[in-house]
Amino acid sequence: MPQTKPILLMTRPDAASRRFVAKLTGSFTPLFSPLIGISFSGNLPKMADFRGLVFTSAHGVEAYVKAGGPVLPAFTVGNATAMAAANAGFPAQSANGNADDLVKWIADQPGIGPLLHVRGTFAQGDVAARLTSQGITTDESVLYDQPELPPSIDAHRALMGDTPVVAPVFSPRTAALLAKNSIKAPLLVAAMSEAVVKPLVGLHKTELKVAARPESSAMVTLVTELLERACAKD
């Protein structure tokens, strides 16, 4: 009897999910069911006041470009966001970590402000306030919203089925939304960071592992490992 492929449940916004899946190899069935949408809105402040930008997601880069902001040096939380900024024409540098790493890295570079943190309605780390408290004047501009979306019918069926499901989870908010669901299937969760783990405490799961680093390449490695383990469990 042929082996059933594990299901890869992608809960990020659609474009980001598809970019991630394109980096994976192996045998699996991708299932796209974003739990968070992206809705661009808002206006930029007077940009002549700023000498640089802070981006904590690729969505922030896209929102800033859509808002018509000028090209300025960009400081990003991780390499994927830095690549998005560079592809949009910004001179970009990456902290190659999480929000804490970003704040520490920027704070160690005196004289680079004022900065503008472009973010969504929901953001982690209080980046602008923490940088300002450490002497780097930083304002923030909310240029997109992240509305909650219900799981698709196919996602609900997968979570209540018998086929192993591998779920990469990239943010605490997505983790909290996933944890609302009833789950029967063998569920293997790949968490991007320890901050993502906390909302998953009550989630019914077979296995949960945390990426070695809070970045896309480490998540690719971890998800590949869990997909192989899911095949072995089937």
CA of residue 161 relative to chain centroid, distance:
27
Judged against a pLDDT cut of 50, whether residue 143 lies above it is answered with: yes
Average pLDDT, the chain: 92
User: b/e for 123-154, b at 16 or more Cβ within 10 A?
Assistant: bbbebbebbbeeebebbbbbbbbbeeeebeee
In sequence order, the 6+-apart residues with CB closer than 8 A to the CB of 180 are none
pTM of the model as a whole: 0.82
CATH number for the 7-37+149-233 domain, one of 1.10.357, 2.40.50, 2.40.30, 3.40.50? 3.40.50
pLDDT tens for 99-132 read 889 999 999 987 898 999 999 998 878 999 999 9
| Predicted pLDDT at 1 | 38
**167 - beta bridge partners?**
189
Q: Is the Cβ–Cβ distance between 215 and 190 less than 8 Å?
A: no
pLDDT tens for 210-228 read 999 888 889 999 999 999 9
Give the span between the Cα atoms of 195 and 73, in whole angstroms. 28
pLDDT tens for 147-192 read 999 999 999 999 999 999 999 999 999 999 999 999 999 999 999 9
pLDDT: which is higher, 99 or 91: 91
| Predicted pLDDT at 234 | 57
R_g of the chain computed on alpha carbons: 19
pLDDT tens for 16-56 read 899 999 999 888 999 999 999 999 998 999 999 999 999 99
Architecture of domain 39-145: 3-Layer(aba) Sandwich (3.40)
* Residue ranges of domains in the chain: 7-37+149-233, 39-145
